[in-house]
Amino acid sequence: MPQLWQGRASKAVDSRVNDFNSSIRFDARMIEQDIQGSLVHSAMLGRQGIISQQDVDDIHKGLHSILEDLHSGALEIDPNAEDVHTFVEQTLTARVGDAGKRLHTGRSRNDQVATDIRLYLRTEIDQIIAMLGHLQEVLVHNAAKESDTLMPGFTHMQVAQPVSFGHHLLAYVEMFERDRERMTQLRSRVNRCPLGAAALAGTTYPIDREMTAKLLGFEAVCQNSLDAVSDRDFGIEFTAAASLVMIHISRLSEELVIWMSQRFSFIKLPDRFTTGSSIMPQKKNPDVPETARGKCSRVVGDLVSMAMLMKGLPLAYNKDLQEDKEPVFDAIDTVKDTLRAFIEMMAGVEPNREEMRKALLAGYPTATDLADYLARRGVPFRTAHDIVGRVVRLASDRGCDIADLSLEELREFSDVITEDVYDVLTLEGSVAARNHIGGTAPAQVRLQVQRWEKIFAEREAQAKASK
């Protein structure tokens, strides 16, 4: 397929140079967006009297036929085309003649590709936002079932305080909510139309950029032609937001791997999300969480690629920008594949409540509760902290929990201790006492579940209203 610019050249480009320059192998996925942009651009050209209505009709007929043939399999994208834009235009021209040659009036591939990638990314962001919401729903559903299930809360990977398993799951719901917010805010900045900026300086034709932007569903036009074609900060921002999604998933993955290990045995993962060993028949490996943990580095790498791509580019368009698509596409695919797996996997996580409780009892998790008990009775907290440290040492020497020590033994450390101390030394009493917004008390977990269920219902209502 000949290049669109070959009139300037006296000799054909070396085939290896063509291969090096070609982007069709990855930008072909934007073909529907390219056709969408061309339909709107040609309609605008006709409305403005730049091309005839007959040309517009022929162009639209040809572009729709290309779409139909692509969907039916009657047309395949030529792998030898320079890029998807060239393929569409030349296929169109072959079908409708000179009208196809008029399609590119008043635009450049520079603003064309910038438009295509924004259109493509906008749709993908919407899908990622929806998938994050589905994952949140799964986690909230699990939290509702496990509000009374107690597990160790860790600091420095040491048993610190008892928490509700439901409370722990809701922590990730909050993380994924911030991910949704970032994606939503980013979408608004993506949703600005560069079409009409042409190569870099605009065009001499009397185009109507507002019309084009409106028909393509953009919120606004890019206000500077140089900026419109030459910046990909929205791609950097997307890969940054995608990286944070994957970082949160990677943290959850790490905990799933730890919890599934024999040393913990806190959870069971559904068999369809685990694998075995080629040599050790007893193994059940958490491959999906491990793979997700690894894929996090891949998406962070996409972010680094985008940042390095842009850092030294002068205005306006440079061929370097061809390299913007693969990192963005890779981040999209990786995030969506990972979210899809986690939505299904997390729905099947089974907690081992006995093992969680056993781990709690081995780590003196109510020590802080005893210190608070003493402080409420007038003992300075720092003094109380020292007293409890000595109580824990005694319990450790005895090989028992603090709650197993007798009242007489406890009173040897402080005479303000009375029989009611055992109310705060139980695991259930410890979590129930943290009954405030953001606390781990089962009552608060249930309130948070209700809050999230209300949020989900509002989102669903908004989605139905917008259709």
Per-residue pLDDT tens over the stretch 61-82: 999 999 999 999 999 999 999 9
Co-location of 311 and 236 in the same domain: yes
Count of structural domains within the chain: 3
Whole-angstrom CA distances from 26 to 29, 30, 239, 322 are 6, 9, 17, 10
Residue 392 lies in a domain: yes
Q: Which domain holds residue 56?
A: 6-105
Give the pLDDT score at 16. Answer: 65
Contact 326, 287 (CB under 8 A): no
- The CB density around residue 30, as the number of other CB atoms within 10 Å, is 24
- Structure-token pair, residue 95: 């079908």
Co-location of 341 and 400 in the same domain: no
Co-location of 304 and 378 in the same domain: no
| CATH code: domain of residue 70 | 1.10.275.10
| CATH code: domain of residue 256 | 1.20.200.10
Amino acid at 434: R
Co-location of 101 and 15 in the same domain: yes
Task: Report the distance separating Cα 199 and Cα 98, nearest Å.
Answer: 22
pLDDT tens digits along 32-67: 999 999 999 999 999 999 999 999 999 999 999 999
- Structure-token pair, residue 300: 């962070």
Residue 91 lies in a domain: yes
Task: Report the distance separating Cα 117 and Cα 191, nearest Å.
Answer: 10
Give the pLDDT score at 223. Answer: 98
Contact 306, 331 (CB under 8 A): no
Task: Report the distance separating Cα 97 and Cα 436, nearest Å.
Answer: 72
Residue 435 lies in a domain: no
Co-location of 260 and 236 in the same domain: yes
Contact 338, 292 (CB under 8 A): yes
Co-location of 319 and 402 in the same domain: no
Task: Report the distance separating Cα 78 and Cα 25, nearest Å.
Answer: 9
Name which of 416, 418, 409, 415 is nearest 390 in CA terms. 409
Give the pLDDT score at 10. Answer: 47
Residue 447 lies in a domain: no
The string of DSSP codes covering 379-439 is --HHHHHHHHHHHHHHHHHHTS-GGGS-HHHHHTT-TT--TTHHHHHSHHHHHHT--STT-
Q: What are residue 400's phi and psi, to 5 degrees?
A: -140, 175
In angstroms, the first-to-last Cα distance of the chain is: 42
Q: Which residues of the chain have pLDDT under 50?
A: 5, 7-10
Give the pLDDT score at 126. Answer: 98
Amino acid at 56: V
Residue 457 lies in a domain: no
Residue 17 lies in a domain: yes
Co-location of 418 and 279 in the same domain: no
Name which of 397, 399, 372, 407 is nearest 387 in CA terms. 372
Co-location of 70 and 192 in the same domain: no
Amino acid at 210: E
Residue ranges in 311-406 assigned as alpha helix (H): 325-346, 353-361, 367-376, 381-398
Percentage above 90 pLDDT, the chain = 90
| CATH code: domain of residue 372 | 1.10.40.30
Give the pLDDT score at 5. Answer: 44
Residue 209 lies in a domain: no
Co-location of 239 and 330 in the same domain: yes
Co-location of 172 and 262 in the same domain: yes
Co-location of 91 and 122 in the same domain: no
Residue 446 lies in a domain: no
Active site residues: 156, 277
Co-location of 247 and 337 in the same domain: yes
